[in-house]
């Protein structure tokens, strides 16, 4: 079994993350809170906000100076014990010498707001950020990253408009032709293109690209950029995932559910909804269940409230895109007005999404497990109900780098390890088909109960997803009902794989442990690589990429996997 990556390992991206990225992220949080405090006219709220700001600044100092990690104070949530038990098992860990995956989850879990207690003074004497917001009176529901999320979506305007127009044309074509699946080859190609759009939407992960500019965002999005990036998909199991969905259609299954474990808000959430709308319109799914986080997580991860913000922007696009932002006002810039065609495309998308939601085909299900500190191998153990629920899905899509790391335990796998091996308990036999990468129509599906949202506390637990069967048994059993469970993003991938130092040739099903073979889950992970752990690579591929300029060379570091240039789409058949 490979070891997990550590913040104390110089060849790991965890070393760079702890020393360079985290200070930037915490500073951005401080700046955001400072702006909100300054804008407040409530004297008591100002005083309380300033105290919270000071506490966050102290946390930044502790992280930069390698202070010990201290237990999280009990805020009434069941994951506190999981985090603190994990912390105790590590001995006396410090910020700069501890398992990277756990430490990063600990950082963001520590910033969670908590219910108010006796008074403000009590809040100010607690030492962790987890108390700073929730123990406060005026800031307990404050999302310190919300401003960054919506600003990034605003900066994505060209790609937003392009995809809205594409979606409108696609839905109208599907309605005219009856189904995209009539021509199997055409359906397969369309499925691949829609999933690749979803995959590269993950390239705007704010927790990893901390200095992203408007110009950077433009380069990452748009059809030409996507076409140029196709050669950078290192492992691609999309044909296998499509075959699973097509088989369910061919067998005449009345309920064909697809789950998407979400990653980032803003533009990435937008493309996730585009994918959901496509799957429902094409008949590849009858219900879509979206899994957001239940607490602010890794800067830009989706919260239930982010859906309202995004839909509000789509519902009133002229007001959103034509009203100058504070930065544009300072620069004397006036945004270009939307064309009538752009407005019509966005209005069509909004109408479709709201219809799916209203009809119950598009659902939202947060679960605390997604913010646990460990890998997703723990899913059957830590969230058995979620696990069983996911087994009812045809396909579970895990999006993003973190989800990928959690799927594979963030371990130092041999990069040729098959993906089903690397995701362990979520691989073959798990009952999950898992893919990690990745409003009319959407609202219709939601209204009909076909698109569901299910947050769960397990997703923010401290451990990896290998613990799902133990820590969230209800979630585990629920996931078993899914034909495919899709995990999106880098953190989900790290949790699936235990964020361990796997041999990169390790099969993905092996690396995801308890979510692999025999787990009852079919798992699909969609991930652009922004961390060390990677599995399922052909023999010699890791060495080839290390030999590229900036790839790591003989340093021992897998630097090619740090910048989001390369992607993996990994599948484990666990049913």
Query: Residue 255 domain-assigned?
Result: yes
Residue 480's DSSP bridge partners are: 391
Query: Residue 1 domain-assigned?
Result: no
Query: Residue 325 domain-assigned?
Result: no
Query: Residue 148 domain-assigned?
Result: no
Q: What is the pLDDT of residue 121?
A: 29
Q: Are 5 and 533 in contact (CB under 8 A)?
A: yes
**Same-domain pairing of 266 and 399:** yes
Would the CA dihedral through 332, 205, 291, 259 be positive or negative?
positive
pLDDT beyond 90 at 260 = yes
- pLDDT over 70, % of the chain: 87
Query: What separation in angstroms does the CA of 340 have from each of 79, 159, 223, 317, 559?
Result: 49, 17, 22, 11, 45
Q: Are 423 and 572 in contact (CB under 8 A)?
A: yes
**Same-domain pairing of 40 and 120:** yes
Of 409, 427, 405, nearest in space to 418 by CA: 427
Q: What is the pLDDT of residue 396?
A: 95
**Same-domain pairing of 124 and 173:** no
- Rounded distance between C-alpha atoms, residue 164 and residue 345, angstroms: 5
Count of domains observed in the chain = 2
**Same-domain pairing of 64 and 159:** no
**Same-domain pairing of 115 and 52:** yes
**Same-domain pairing of 384 and 525:** yes
β-pairing, 362-364 vs 451-453, is parallel
Query: Residue 559 domain-assigned?
Result: yes
- Rounded distance between C-alpha atoms, residue 363 and residue 83, angstroms: 29
Query: Residue 91 domain-assigned?
Result: yes
**Same-domain pairing of 86 and 39:** yes
| Non-local CB neighbours of 312 within 8 Å, separated by 6+ positions | 320
pLDDT beyond 90 at 527 = yes
| Non-local CB neighbours of 430 within 8 Å, separated by 6+ positions | 380, 391, 480, 514, 515, 516, 517, 518, 519, 520, 521, 522, 523, 572, 574, 575
Of 304, 291, 305, nearest in space to 492 by CA: 291
**Same-domain pairing of 375 and 475:** yes
- What percentage of the chain's residues is helix, strand, coil (to nearest 5)? 50, 15, 35
Tokens representing 549 are: 């300029």
Mean pLDDT of the chain: 84
Domain residues for the domain of 217 are: 155-304+360-573
Q: Which helix (H) or strand (E) holds 366?
A: none
The tens digit of pLDDT for each residue in 462-509 reads: 889 999 999 999 999 999 999 999 999 989 999 999 999 999 999 999
- pLDDT over 90, % of the chain: 49
First to last CA, the chain: 23
Q: What is the pLDDT of residue 499?
A: 92
Residue 514's DSSP bridge partners are: 426
pLDDT beyond 70 at 566 = yes
The tens digit of pLDDT for each residue in 196-216 reads: 888 877 554 434 334 434 444
Q: What is the pLDDT of residue 179?
A: 53
**Same-domain pairing of 290 and 401:** yes
Query: Residue 331 domain-assigned?
Result: no
- Rounded distance between C-alpha atoms, residue 410 and residue 517, angstroms: 18
**Same-domain pairing of 199 and 119:** no
Angle formed at CA 493 by CA 225 and CA 487, multiple of 5 degrees: 80
Query: Residue 219 domain-assigned?
Result: yes
Q: What is the pLDDT of residue 55?
A: 84
Of 436, 400, 401, 402, nearest in space to 509 by CA: 436
Strand, helix or coil at 457? Answer: strand
CATH number at residue 45: 1.20.930.60
**Same-domain pairing of 79 and 159:** no
Q: Are 359 and 450 in contact (CB under 8 A)?
A: yes
Of 294, 424, 375, 366, nearest in space to 104 by CA: 375
Q: What is the pLDDT of residue 169?
A: 87
**Same-domain pairing of 162 and 107:** no
Q: Residue 183 — very low, low, confident or very high, per pLDDT cuts 50/70/90?
A: low
């Amino acid at each position: 079994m490979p070891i997990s990556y550590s913040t104390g390992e110089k060849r790991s991206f965890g070393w760079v993350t702890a020393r360079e990225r985290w200070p930037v992220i915490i500073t951005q949080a401080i700046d955001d809170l400072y702006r909100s405090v300054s804008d407040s006219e409530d004297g008591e709220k100002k005083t309380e906000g300033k105290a919270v700001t000071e506490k966050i600044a102290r946390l930044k100092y502790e992280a930069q100076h390698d202070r010990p990690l201290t237990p999280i104070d009990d805020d009434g949530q069941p994951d506190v014990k999981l985090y603190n038990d994990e912390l105790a098992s590590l001995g006396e860990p410090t910020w700069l010498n501890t398992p990277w995956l756990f430490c990063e989850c600990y950082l963001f879990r520590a910033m969670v707001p908590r219910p108010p207690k006796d008074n403000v003074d009590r809040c100010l004497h607690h030492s962790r950020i987890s108390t700073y917001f929730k123990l406060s009176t005026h800031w307990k529901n404050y999302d310190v990253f919300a401003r960054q999320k919506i600003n990034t979506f605003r900066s994505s305007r060209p790609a937003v408009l392009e995809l809205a127009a594409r979606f409108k044309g696609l839905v109208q074509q599907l309605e005219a032709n009856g189904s995209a699946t009539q021509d199997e080859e055409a359906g397969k190609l369309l499925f691949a293109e829609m999933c690749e759009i979803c995959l590269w939407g993950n390239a705007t992960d704010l927790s990893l690209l901390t200095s992203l500019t408007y110009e950077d965002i433009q380069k990452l999005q748009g059809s030409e950029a996507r076409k140029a990036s196709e050669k950078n998909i290192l492992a691609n199991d999309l044909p296998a995932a499509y075959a699973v969905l097509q088989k369910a259609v061919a067998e005449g299954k009345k309920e064909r559910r697809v789950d998407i474990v979400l990653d980032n808000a803003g533009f990435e959430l937008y493309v996730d909804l585009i994918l959901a709308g496509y799957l429902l319109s094409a008949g590849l799914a009858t219900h879509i269940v979206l899994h957001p986080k239940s607490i602010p997580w890794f800067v830009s991860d989706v919260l239930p409230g982010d859906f309202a913000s995004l839909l509000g922007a789509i519902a009133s696009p002229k007001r959103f895109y034509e009203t100058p932002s504070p930065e544009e006002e300072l620069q004397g810039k006036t945004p270009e007005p939307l064309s009538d065609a752009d407005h019509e495309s966005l209005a069509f998308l909004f109408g479709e999404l709201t219809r799916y939601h209203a009809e119950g085909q598009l659902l939202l299900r947060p679960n605390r497990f997604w913010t646990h500190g460990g890998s997703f191998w723990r899913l059957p153990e830590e969230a058995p109900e979620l696990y069983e629920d996911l087994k009812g899905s045809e396909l579970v899509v895990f999006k993003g780098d973190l989800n990928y790391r959690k799927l594979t335990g963030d371990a130092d796998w041999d990069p040729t390890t098959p993906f089903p091996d690397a995701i362990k308990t979520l691989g073959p036999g798990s009952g999950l088909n898992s893919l990690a990468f990745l409003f009319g129509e959407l609202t219709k599906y939601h209204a009909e109960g076909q698109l569901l949202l299910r947050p769960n506390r397990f997703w923010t637990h401290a451990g990896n997803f290998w613990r799902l069967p133990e820590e969230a048994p209800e979630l585990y059993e629920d996931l078993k009902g899914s034909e495919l469970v899709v995990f999106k993003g880098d953190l989900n991938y790290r949790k699936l794989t235990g964020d361990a130092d796997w041999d990169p040739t390790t099969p993905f099903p092996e690396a995801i442990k308890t979510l692999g073979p025999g787990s009852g889950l079919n798992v699909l992970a969609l991930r652009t690589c922004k961390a060390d752990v990677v599995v399922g690579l052909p023999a010699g591929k890791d060495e080839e990429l290390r030999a590229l300029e900036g790839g790591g060379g003989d340093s021992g570091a897998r630097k090619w996997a740090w910048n989001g240039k390369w992607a993996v789409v990994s599948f484990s058949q666990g049913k």
